[in-house]
Structures are given as C-alpha cells and as structure tokens.
Structure 1
Amino acid sequence: MLKKLLLSVLLCLPFLGYAQSYMTGNVFDNEQRNLALQGVSVRNLSTKAVVVTDKDGHYAIPAKNGDLIVYALMGYQTDTVYLVNLFPKNSYLRAAVNTLNPVNVTTTKVSPFLDTKDPEARPAKQVDYSKNRGGLRLNLGYGKYRRQQAKEQELEEAADINEEISKNFNREVIQKLVNYKAKDLDDYIGLYRPTVAQVRADKDFDYTYYIATTFTEWRKLPENERKLPSLPKLKAKP
C-alpha cells in the first residue's frame, strides 16, 4: 500500500511542475518582420522574473493575466505589454532613434532632395492592441490605460447591477409579493426603483424585504405624492 502511494506521488510531481502558468512568444525587428532578435531581455515587472530570447527570438517566462512584461535590447526602444491573456504572442521592437548634439553650421550645400517625402512613410501608431497577441502596447502611458480600464469596469458593473434590478424589481415580481394589481403600481416602481448605489452598497441586497417595506411606505403617502413629478414642458423658442 505504501509503495502504491509513493508511486502516485512521484507520478504527480511532473504535473505539479507544470502548474505554474507561462507566457511564450517571439521577438522580431519591427522593420524587418522576419528578423528574429536574440538576446532580448524579457522581464516580468510583477514577479521580477527575467529571461533572454534565443537565436530564434523565442522565450518563455512565468506570468499571469495582469502582469507587466518589459522587452529591452541595446539599440532598440524598450517596449511594455500589459497581459490580458497568456496566448503565445509575437512582439516587435522599434530601432532606437539617436539624438545628436546641436551643431552650428556656417556653410552648407543644400540638396534638392531634402524636401522629398517618402511615399512609403506611414504615421506611427500610438497604441497597438491585439486580442490575438494578448497585450496592450503602452505608448500612451500605463496610468492612462489603467484609468480607462477602471472606468470601463465601473460602467460594466453598473450595467450588470441595472440588469439585476430589472430582473428582481418589476411589475410581475411585485404583484406576486404584495398582491396589488392596480394601474398605479407603475408609479410605485418609478418612485422606488432601487439605485445602482443602493444595491452596490449592500452586497446581499434583499429585494423581497425592500419591496415589502417600501410598498407599505408608498401606500401611506398622499395620493398626489405617489408618483414622480412631471417633467417641465420646454418653451418653444420664438
């Protein structure tokens, strides 16, 4: 029995070794897309792990969604990617632009080709996002991206809460609970519909208790206060 148990543990060890998630990919030159870059430092800022690409530009680094991966190589611009998935991805580094010290020119021979525009020149993209590559290139700044993501997440959460409210606070649900089918029930729904802030503040929002208490409160109101006030009429422009 002990031997069987020991054998089972030994068989499980290889799988435990692979339990850690990895991100794999290849790094190429941005201009010569088929030129693999060897020796690129690939650093996970979240875990401090560092690997270097091989002769084929290939790498594998421990990572998870939400990590920041930095690619760096002498002569190329450093690139940063925020991971939204762990799909294998290709990364392309741009050659670094050298900044020369200013030089005072006293005489020069002007070439007639100086103002000639490159017909194949294309404007550089500030943000390069691809779901297949699983990352967002952070040329506009990681902070701005995080704020945008937080805002989008807040809007998505509000939409989910509104959907939950509509599902649990509607005419059919209320009629079954309070046994009230008069037409003015819509006035109660409009006046007492829970807000997103109310539901968000209470993780386990009790719709049954809320309906029971607020419906009783609504029924005690004077008739002229049982519905939302009418919207003011807009005056026609002369």
Structure 2
Amino acid sequence: MGAFAQTVTTGTVFDFTKKTLSIPGVSVRNLNSKKVTSTNKDGKYTIAANIGDLLEFSAVGYHTDTLYLTNLLNRTIYLPVKTNNLNDVEVSAVRMNSQITDAKDPLAEKYTLLSTGGNLNRKRMTDKVGGLGLNLGYGKYKRQQRKEADLKEKEMYQQEIDENFTPKAITDLTKLEGEELKNFMIIYRPSIEAVKGERPFRYTFYISRAFVAWKKLSPQERKLQDLPKLKAN
C-alpha cells in the first residue's frame, strides 16, 4: 500500500476591522480530520488538510468562522470582533478601501464575509458571520459542498484510470488485441475504491495480476454475457 503525501494549507488571520492587525492564538480546527493548531505571534498557521475539508477558526472575542477548502493555496482570513450589545444601526452603503493590502503576504487569497450581499439593511448583527453565511442555511450549504467535492473526487479518479488503464498499456504487457482486449478492459477495469485505497496505484502490477486471472477463465467466461431478453407481457 502506498502512503499519501502529507498535504497542508497555510494562511494568516487578521482582524476584520483593522485589516493589518494579525491575530495570534486563533484556534484552527480541521472538522474532517479533527486536527487542531493555532496561529503564531504573527497570526500565521499551518495545518494538515485536503481539498474538500472544512476549517474552523475561533478566538476569544471574535466570531467563529468556517472555510470550505476548494484548494490548498495560502489564504488571508478576516475574523469580525464579537459584540454582545449593539445599538440599532442602518447601513446604507459599504465601501472597501482598495488601498488595503496584506503587507505580510500580498499573494495570499483574501477571504471576507460572503453573507452581506443583499442583506445590508439588517438591524442587528447578532448572527454568526463568516465564509459560509450560516444565516442562509449552513447545513444545506455544507451538504451541497460535500456532494460537489465527492463528485469532483470521483471525476479525478476516473480520469486517472482512463489515462493509465489504456489499450496500449495493456497490449504492451499482455499482447491482447481486438475483442479479447476489449473484454479484458471491461471486466478488469479498476474500481474507484481500489485506486483510492492504494496510493499511488500501481497500474502495471494490477494489469499483470488481472492478466493472470484472465488466463484462468474459460473461453466462455472471457466473453461478455448478453443481457436476457425480456418476455412479452
């Protein structure tokens, strides 16, 4: 069995209001793997993660935020300060200062609030805010994101199988051609579960073992069986 290479994601956490103020001691938790780390004195973190994982950022005095990983690029996270009692306010406009940049890592992707659009006139800012917009239905959003991540993962493995379990690769190893090659590829095509369970998957070794099993089949077993004909009602 091959071993997965360790994958990590990195980033820096800043105060949402004071954009250049990094926050040390922020707890960063991978909700999928349960791994936990915290930001250093410069607000930077490094945590083991994979695409499709959910990261949770929490700190005393700040709103907890959750981020769905679509890639492992370096990120800049902004946490809003938590306030218990706020006077009623009415926000008529929002203007972002285009001059604000992350001096520590200008190439980092910036993640701010995603749930403000269309809801700028809310009276009280008491909802939990963050990258997933919990006030719009966190549970449904998370299930949809996981479903999309699963589909994306399956497509990735299918593409890998198509690129390695090819007629040329099989013919070079087994000398099978024509109808026998076609039947062999249909019967012994690796499953996603098998490829996912052994990383990296050894296609040459797998084809060789499959060919040994193929030679033990009877001529009838090597042929694809026709579907039974349906009887007329």
Q: TM (normalized to structure 2)?
A: 0.50
Amino acid at match of 1:192: Y
Q: Quick one: distance in 2 between partners of 1:144 and 1:70?
A: 26
Q: Structure 2 unaligned segments of length 5 or more: list them.
A: 1-10, 19-25, 28-55, 63-73, 91-108, 125-129
Aligned-partner SS, 1:86: strand
Instruction: Name the structure 1 match of 2:127.
Output: none
Structure that is richer in helix per residue: 1
* 1:139 positional shift: 2.8
Q: Secondary structure at the match of 1:224?
A: coil
Match of 1:212 in 2: 208
Letter in 2 for 1:144: K
* 1:197 matched to 2:210: no
Q: Is the 8 A contact 1:168 1:207 kept in 2?
A: yes
Q: How much identity, in percent, do the aligned residues show?
A: 35
Map of 1:20 onto structure 2: 12
The letter of the residue matching 1:213 is R
Note the C-alpha offset of 1:25: 7.5
Query: Which one has a bigger Cα radius of gyration?
Result: 1
- Match of 1:185? 181
Are the structure 2 counterparts of residues 65 and 231 from structure 1 closer, same or farther at C-alpha, using a change threshold of 3 Å?
Answer: farther
Q: Which has the higher contact order (CA 8 A, sep 6+)?
A: 2
Amino acid at match of 2:122: A
Q: Distance in 1 between matches of 2:229 and 2:15?
A: 60
Q: Is the 8 A contact 2:61 2:81 kept in 1?
A: no
Q: Deviations over 1:118-173 (max 9, x none)?
A: xxxxxxxxxxxxxxxx9443334322222221111111001000000011101111
Q: Could you tell me how far apart the structure 1 residues matched to 2:210 and 2:171 are?
A: 14
Change (3 A) 1:89 1:143: closer
**Structure 1: 4+ residue segments shifted above 6 A:** 65-68
One-letter amino acid of the structure 2 residue matched with residue 86 of structure 1: K
Gaps of 5+ in 1: 1-18, 27-42, 52-62, 78-84, 98-133
- 1:162–1:196 Cα contact (<8 Å) kept: yes
Residue in structure 2 matched with residue 75 of structure 1 by the alignment: 88
Provide the residue aligned with 1:141 in structure 2: 137
TM alignment of 1:56-205, pairs within 5 A:
64=75, 73-75=86-88, 86-87=110-111, 91=116, 92-96=119-123, 135-205=131-201
Question: What amino acid is aligned across from residue 75 of structure 1 in structure 2?
Answer: D
Q: How many residues matched? A: 150
2:224 is paired with a residue whose SS is coil
1:233 positional shift:
3.8
Task: Report Cα offsets for 1:187-237 as digits up to 9, x if no partner.
Answer: 01000000111111112211111000111211220111113322334556x
- What secondary structure, in the 3-state scheme, does the structure 2 residue paired with 1:231 have? coil
Contact 2:165–2:203 (CA under 8 A) maintained in structure 1:
yes
**Pick aligned residue for 1:48 from 55, 59, 63:** 59
Contact 2:183–2:223, Cα closer than 8 Å, also in 1: yes
- Aligned partner of residue 205 in structure 1, secondary structure: coil
Per-residue CA distance 1:44-81 (angstroms, 9 max, x = gap): 97131657xxxxxxxxxxx957887688654369xxxx
CA RMSD of aligned residues (A): 4.0
